[in-house]
Chain A
Amino acid sequence: MAKIGIIGYGSCIPRNRIKVEEIAKVWGADAESFKRGLLLEEKSVPSPDQDTITMAVEASRRAVLRAGIDPAKIGALYVGSESHPYAVKPSGTVLAEALGATPECHTADLEFACKAGTEAMYICSQLVKAGSVPYALAVGADTSQGAPGDALEYSAAAGAAAFVFGSEEDKIVAELVDTYAFMTDTPDFWRREHMHYPRHGGRFTGEPAFFKHVCGAARGMMAKTKTQPSDFRYVVFHQPNGKFPLRAGQMLGFKKEQILTGWLVNRLGNTYSGASPLGLTAVLDEAQAGDRILVVSFGSGAGSDGFVFQATGRLASVQKLAAGTREQLDNKKRYLDYGTYARYRGKIRMAEK
């Protein structure tokens, strides 16, 4: 069977940051307990005009640039997010138009809490594998919502990652070895129609939700590919906070150094649908030919997607073609005070228009 895989990847991280101390100060909370308990330091914040679509466009342009393809040949394009700017009207059409992928392109907006991005990857990879389209673009992007004062406010962040899937062997930078999906009906976190902020089941989001599904998918993925933790140079887990992915890694038998390259959450926050995809982009920025990469996402509701990739010789030649993920995370940061952050995030009640 022909090989398929990622032929281009890109990321977008907003410049704005807010520190855990700045949020804790406003709510009279103990910043140290968030820093120590959840391993969070700061998080990204979208600018007033930055949303899931604009970040998806920026990340996708970088992915198309690295892929070196004519965007008109993208036959399918999916945006996974839980913060699509419109309840009715697709994000995908705007993205496709901005990239020059219209009109011969199939699109859909996907939602599955924090794993909508890897759902897009899953579908794109299978369409390419089936030969239905030459190229397919998968995006995970979010400007996540956390209610003021809620524990989620310390982590809910913004970012996007995009991947072009293709089957031309000379273009593949990371071959997709196999995929695996693990899913149950577990209501740990949700936002109903017309609710502004999501609700969560507190500690229920841990063992029966995140750990059960992440570990279930990781074990299933390794069983299916007959691999074990030591076969991977890198592993990327969904990262709702700093602690959960490190603990999942420990439970599964991974070493910390396998996790840290794709572990962005301590200074990025939780980018929801963008979280494990962004971790993968950070790994692809550094991986070398032959490196095996395990990716396990998690979406509340709940489920996990598993992917095994293997970097090819071509990866090195595309890594520097666009801004890297750590580069965006570490540079040109702009720190916001809580007031500015509240304005940017639309948390201030304005006069009725």
Chain B
Amino acid sequence: MRDVSIVGVGIGHWGELWNDSLRDLAVAASLKAIADAGVDRVDSAVIGCMSSGIFTGQEHLASVLGDYLGRGPLPVTRVESACASGALAFKAGYAEVAAGISDVVLVCGAEKMNDLDGSESTYALGTAADQEYEGYNGATFPGLYAMMALRHMHEFGTTRRQLSLVAVKNHANGLQNPNAQFQMAITPEDVEKSAKVADPLRLLDCSPVTDGAAALILVPTELAKKLAPGGAPVAVRGIGHATDTIALHSRASLTRLRAVEVSAERAYQSAGVKPADIHLAEVHDCFTIAELMAMEALGFAAPGQSGPMVERGETAIGGRIPINPSGGLKSKGHPVGATGVAQILEIVEQLRGQAGGRQVKGAKLGLAQNMGGTGGSSIVTILGA
């Protein structure tokens, strides 16, 4: 196995991008990453996308990306694991470089979600739940995460205000991210007065529907200087990947994310580090409760202690372990297939010291956690400068 480094990043502004199609987004991010790395060739590409077929009617993204990158015979692989498609694409690209199959691999994550209206996109996202047991009975992701939130509140005394503070923090961080969909400060009262979605979750507890893409260039660490003279390499220190039951009701506990716990253990083990060593993390806050549960599954907080930790400001930039300095899914946006790639990209920019107003000072070791559904799949990636 070869060591792998990330040498190029590409991302654009995320939001309701009415003038950009899925291919526009994927190609623009990919070309930026290629330019950032300064590579003169791409040997292979992986694209992570959850549901382009439902969202835009377009499948066969391997050919679309190869074609519109203008690199005809390029081997491209499309990868899907619901909202974890992005990080899974990264894992596939990583494996290809580590195994010596390819030297310069482009990893792209993209999703175009705004071609559908609200109920259609809710349906598209709902395909990540268990169709036979959850979907057919009318469960939606806001409803499923609401149950997880109610149980967490019941078991641990997690408060409505603690959920609000997750959204408040992520919006404050997003204000410093020029690519974020929502660049506005919010208050806990704003969250608590926003429209009801599924009790106890309100509109401002939920990540938005977003169009966007992000891309990375991976090379073997030993060849980084030669292949990517423009890139500031950031090493991939460890990756962990796990799955859990697809249906929420099959789990022993509604307040634990087993796939995140196991993928984190594997990532920590392969990197040879422990939770306390991590300087910053990007976690999958598709709903505010998801960030709290991810913090506990990643070992940053003991079970039930994530809410008080947020309340104490320990996860803000400047706190003990800044979480979602990019603004997270909540403020930066959540184009599902792109999210996992963009989380890793944020860690790269932080470790390069290029994160501008949201820079976590002295960051040397960062973690990204991306999951699908209610935690039915999870990938944890650890990067080191």
Contact = CB atoms under 8 A, between A and B. Distances in A.
Nearest to B193: A36
Given A201-B117, A202-B118, A30 B18 contact: no
Contacts of A200: 117
Interface residues of A, number: 11
A262 to B, nearest CB: 29
Interface string A11-41: 0000000000000000000101100010000
A191 to B, nearest CB: 16
Among A200, A202, A204, A207: residue with most chain B CB under 10 A: A202
Interface in B4-26: 16, 18-19
A148 to B, nearest CB: 15
Interface in A93-129: none
A204 B196 CA distance: 23
A226 interface: no
Contacts of B114: 203-204
Contact of A30 (B19, B118, B195): B195
Nearest to B203: A33
B195 A33 contact: yes
Contacts of A203: 16, 114, 117
Nearest to A34: B195
B16 A30 contact: no
A202 to B, nearest CB: 4
Nearest to A203: B16
Contact of B16 (A32, A33, A37, A207): A207
Contact of A202 (B19, B117, B195, B196): B117
Interface in A204-246: 204, 207-208
Given A204-B18, A207-B16, A208-B18, A30 B117 contact: no
A24 B18 CA distance: 30
A161 to B, nearest CB: 31
Interface string B163-192: 000000000000000000000000000000
A178 B116 CA distance: 39
B164 to A, nearest CB: 17
Contacts of B116: 202
Interface in B105-155: 114, 116-118
Interface in B243-276: none
A37 B195 contact: yes
A30 to B, nearest CB: 6
A280 to B, nearest CB: 30
Contacts of B18: 204, 207-208
B93 to A, nearest CB: 33
B181 to A, nearest CB: 12
A32 B192 CA distance: 13
A207 B211 CA distance: 15
Nearest to A212: B18
Contact of B196 (A30, A37, A201): A30
A30 B198 CA distance: 12
Interface string B339-366: 0000000000000000000000000000
A204 B113 CA distance: 12
A208 B114 CA distance: 12
A348 to B, nearest CB: 24
A203 B117 CA distance: 7
Contacts of A208: 18-19
B207 to A, nearest CB: 15
Nearest to A188: B18
A91 to B, nearest CB: 32
Among B116, B117, B196: residue with most chain A CB under 10 A: B117
A137 to B, nearest CB: 38
A244 to B, nearest CB: 15
Contacts of A202: 116-118
B210 to A, nearest CB: 12
Contacts of A32: 195
Nearest to A33: B195
Contacts of A201: 117
A59 B114 CA distance: 41
A207 B15 CA distance: 12
Listed from nearest, the 4 A-B pairs whose CB atoms lie closest are A202-B117, A33-B195, A208-B18, A30-B196
Interface of B: 16, 18-19, 114, 116-118, 195-196
Given A33-B195, A208-B19, 15 more contacts: A30-B196, A32-B195, A33-B196, A37-B195, A200-B117, A202-B116, A202-B117, A202-B118, A203-B16, A203-B117, A204-B18, A204-B114, A207-B16, A207-B18, A208-B18
13 contacts: A30-B195, A30-B196, A32-B195, A37-B195, A200-B117, A201-B117, A202-B117, A202-B118, A203-B16, A203-B117, A207-B16, A207-B18, A208-B19
